[in-house]
Amino acid sequence: MEKKTTFGPQGQVIIPKDIRDKIGIKEYSEVIVDVLDDSVIIKKIKHESV
């Protein structure tokens, strides 16, 4: 699922709502940001159940 978006003046990027909903990212969710070649990868942190 690809979507076009833009960066704000402070490097912020808006992840479209349908993508956030699909992987369960909500406001203030912590994520992992990684770089692979020329791509930026954003991963949801999966908290372990105890």
Q: Under a CB-based contact definition with an 8 Å cutoff, are residues 21 and 27 in contact?
A: no
pTM of the predicted protein model: 0.71
Split into its structural domains, the chain has a count of 1
| pLDDT at res. 49 | 64
Q: Under a CB-based contact definition with an 8 Å cutoff, are residues 34 and 43 in contact?
A: yes
- Give the pLDDT of the chain (50 residues) as one tens digit per residue: 889 999 999 999 999 999 999 999 999 999 999 999 999 999 999 877 66
The CATH number of residue 47's host domain is 2.10.260.10
Give the span between the Cα atoms of 29 and 39, in whole angstroms. 21
Domain that holds residue 21: 1-50
